[in-house]
Structure 1
Amino acid sequence: MTKLLKNLWARFLFQDRGILPTRKLLAFFLIFSIAIIVISAFLGFSWLWLSIINGIILVMSLIDLSFSPKSQEVTAQRRMSSEMERGITYTVHIELSNTSAYAMNVRLKDGLPQSFQAPFPLKGNVKKQETAILAYNVVAPFRGKYDVTKLYIRYQSVFGLWEKQMAIELEDTIKVIPDLTETKQYLKSAQQFLLAEGSKIRRQGDSTGEFTQIRNYVVGDDPRKINWRQTAKLQTFMTNEYEPEHVQQAMIKSMAQQQILTKKREKAKWERQGLFLVETEEEQLATTAVSRYIDIMNQGLL
């Protein structure tokens, strides 16, 4: 009995499938019943006849269902941002397609988490064999990763006596991150803030060095190197630090000089023994190239 009551209650909460009477039908049925009771008081109709008349009216109202689309003729798609900032309003678009020969009035409710703020139910009209786009605004107040799996729809014919409902599987994932509005405004007008302190931003060349560490952002650092993931996680500006290019050049020069020195020592060792070290053509080319590279670095051309 409890399970049956839960299933019936679910019918009225935008869940599963089924049909429901609309307010128009309930109001009409109530007025008609009162009128029949008043008339029967004067004509002396029995309660059996009253029940039969009400039953006939109820069965005739079911004809309204044949003038509304079937569930297979209604499809939907959801277009929403996969990443939202906390407390910021975003717009979600629902695309409803009606391939039937009948127009329909629709109400829908998206399967968002209960903490999300959105104006449901969303109402609209979809003409026969056409597609309509409905939109609503949503605000996510808490950080986290959320799955949205269903879209609940109720629709009725132009007569509006009975309402069909269905649930469409639409899987999306929303990642809610901290509000970065102030951060973006600061970076957008960083030049103005620094000019007030007597500093000026100069365009820096792209980093060609290797990544070394992540550290706190300080005034004067290149805003393009900010690590947004760590900034959002630690709630403070973090920037990527790269090895300076001149350090790499010094290391390359040191390794090249070491290679030339090793080659000279090996050649001198063979000469002391009265032997000569014969280099292949490839080795000679490599030695010449390394020597030439060191000369260029010494001249400051690199």
Structure 2
Amino acid sequence: MTKLLKSLWGRFLFQDSGILPTKRLLFIFVLLSFIFFLSSFWGISWESIIAVNLLVLIVSLFDLFFTPKKKELSFRRYMPIEMERGISYQVPIEITNHSTFSFNFQIIDAVPQSFKTAFPLYGKAEKEAMVHTTYEAIAPIRGKYEIKKLYFRYTSPLGLWEKQLTTEMIDMVKVIPDLSETKRYLENAQAFLLHEGLKIRKHQNGVGEFSKIRNYVVGDDPRKINWRQTAKLREVMTNEFEPEHGKYVTVLIDCGRMMGAELKKGNRLEKSLEAALTVSAAALKKGDYVSVLAFSKDVSVFVPAAKGMAHLQTILQAIYNIQVDASESNYAEVLHYLEMVQKKRSLILLFSDVRTFLHEENALLYLKRIRQRHLFLMIGIEDQTLIKRIGMEPDELQKAMSKSIAQQQMLIKKREKLKWEKQGLHMIEASEENLATSAVSYYIDIMNRNLL
């Protein structure tokens, strides 16, 4: 295909600049052709056919003089700098018409193909006026994207011709993990910690740092009554404690092959990222130091420990673009690396696939050494397929065989987990909907019990 043909083809695909006939003009010529075909039975001359076609074409071309020139139009796109994965965003586009002609228009924005949008956009711009139009965009895949162009078509007053132009407008947008769970925790931490009907304790009696003095309420420990303030205010006052601040939390995120397994919404890595950010926000809000390490066969990202809510943005910018690696995870390598970079005692939270991890005998040697200094907790996502097959009724031979194999796999997993837990390496599994909730709940419980 020659360069001219490529340009013409791109023009019809809404990807180039130029002038195109509208459906209305094509319909007029089709109608004329039908009339000429019928007239041919009465001996109409070729001169008459050519003359009428030229006349219609010339009249239609005059219609182009009543459309704005390209330099009389300006555009501006208000693309958000960051978009959360799977969340709908409104993207406004501003069109300024500096000419004395009004027109109808169509817009297609050159967003990445993975974005979910509805194009083209239709609208009308009045003369010497500014018009705003908005489209909805949903980004299902994390990453950093560059949007370079905006494709614009506008028609003449009679709607016989369309002018098309391509505007260069470069915007950078980052698609970050869904932070709905993190925001929900920061808005109402205690409500977020209601898991399976159990209210997580704020602290253990008599353990932690002094927080404040408040009024005594039913259910408080009488041993914590502050008698001096009670006598001064003539009201029963009690001391309130909270877990010690300044502990170290290390979050490990597995990016290996098994983390690419698809779930109801996204994959295991997506859910692990969301849970890791939520538990990081919980730890930073309570004044703890948080470091994050993402790995597969090698260490991909390492964010050193720091405290303060501003550090959450540092973590987010470092890990928002990590992807699933096609290779297997090298747990021994990452644990060896962790021994070198994390010298202070910390809570290690590993987000990974429990079933894969259980068969890593080499990792057990490193974990035994790490366990001497750190507290280890692994968090995985339940295999819903396995649970479903265990719970199905064995009313057929094939179902009975599938159920027995699933039960056998579950027993093997429990036996292996018991072996690891005897070494002091705890593992839990949660459903994808409750992964973030479970991670924060266990973190709070560990801090309440002062295990660090």
- Alignment-mate amino acid for residue 147 of structure 1: E
Deviations 1:247-283 (A, max 9, x none): xxxxxxxxxxxxxxxxxxxxxxxxxxxxxxxxxxxxx
Q: Is the partner of 1:96 in helix, strand or coil?
A: strand
Q: Report how many aligned residue pairs link the two structures.
A: 230
Q: Is the partner of 2:52 in helix, strand or coil?
A: helix
Residues 204 and 222 in structure 1, CA contact (< 8 A), matched pair in contact too: no
Unaligned runs of 5+ in 1: 206-210, 236-242, 244-302
Give 1:230's match in structure 2, choosing from 298, 312, 315: 315
Residues 182 and 281 in structure 2, CA contact (< 8 A), matched pair in contact too: no
What are the residue-to-residue correspondences of 1:1-302 with 2, within 5 Å?
2-42=2-42, 44-193=43-192, 196-199=199-202, 215-216=250-251, 217=279, 221-223=283-285, 225-226=308-309, 227-228=311-312, 229-230=314-315, 233=319
Q: Which has the higher contact order (CA 8 A, sep 6+)?
A: 1
Shift of 1:37: 2.6
> Structure 2: how far apart are the matches of 1:114 and 1:190?
37
Deviations 1:73-113 (A, max 9, x none): 11100112010011111000000011111101000111111
Mark the CA change 1:181 to 1:58 in structure 2 (over 3 Å): closer, same or farther: same
> Structure 2: how far apart are the matches of 1:150 and 1:3?
20
Mark the CA change 1:231 to 1:194 in structure 2 (over 3 Å): closer, same or farther: same
Shift of 1:26: 0.8
> Structure 1: how far apart are the matches of 2:10 and 2:53?
27
> Structure 2: how far apart are the matches of 1:149 and 1:112?
8
Alignment RMSD, CA only? 3.0
> Structure 2: how far apart are the matches of 1:35 and 1:203?
94
Unaligned runs of 5+ in 2: 204-208, 213-245, 252-278, 287-307, 323-343, 345-452
Mark the CA change 1:220 to 1:203 in structure 2 (over 3 Å): closer, same or farther: farther
Residues 106 and 153 in structure 1, CA contact (< 8 A), matched pair in contact too: yes
Q: Is the partner of 1:107 in helix, strand or coil?
A: strand
User: Could you say which structure has the larger radius of gyration?
Assistant: 1
Mark the CA change 1:60 to 1:173 in structure 2 (over 3 Å): closer, same or farther: same
Mark the CA change 1:219 to 1:76 in structure 2 (over 3 Å): closer, same or farther: closer
Give the percent of matched residue pairs that are identical in Structure 1 and Structure 2. Answer: 43
Shift of 1:199: 1.5
> Structure 2: how far apart are the matches of 1:36 and 1:96?
43
- Alignment-mate amino acid for residue 19 of structure 2: I
TM-score normalized by the length of structure 1: 0.68
TM-score normalized by the length of structure 2: 0.47
Mark the CA change 1:231 to 1:33 in structure 2 (over 3 Å): closer, same or farther: closer
> Structure 1: how far apart are the matches of 2:88 and 2:282?
33
- Alignment-mate amino acid for residue 199 of structure 1: K
Q: Is the partner of 1:51 in helix, strand or coil?
A: helix
Q: Is the partner of 1:25 in helix, strand or coil?
A: helix
Question: Runs (4+) of structure 1 moved beyond 3 Å?
Answer: 202-205, 211-222, 224-227
Deviations 1:173-201 (A, max 9, x none): 0011111112211232212345822317x
Mark the CA change 1:126 to 1:193 in structure 2 (over 3 Å): closer, same or farther: closer
Residues 33 and 54 in structure 1, CA contact (< 8 A), matched pair in contact too: no
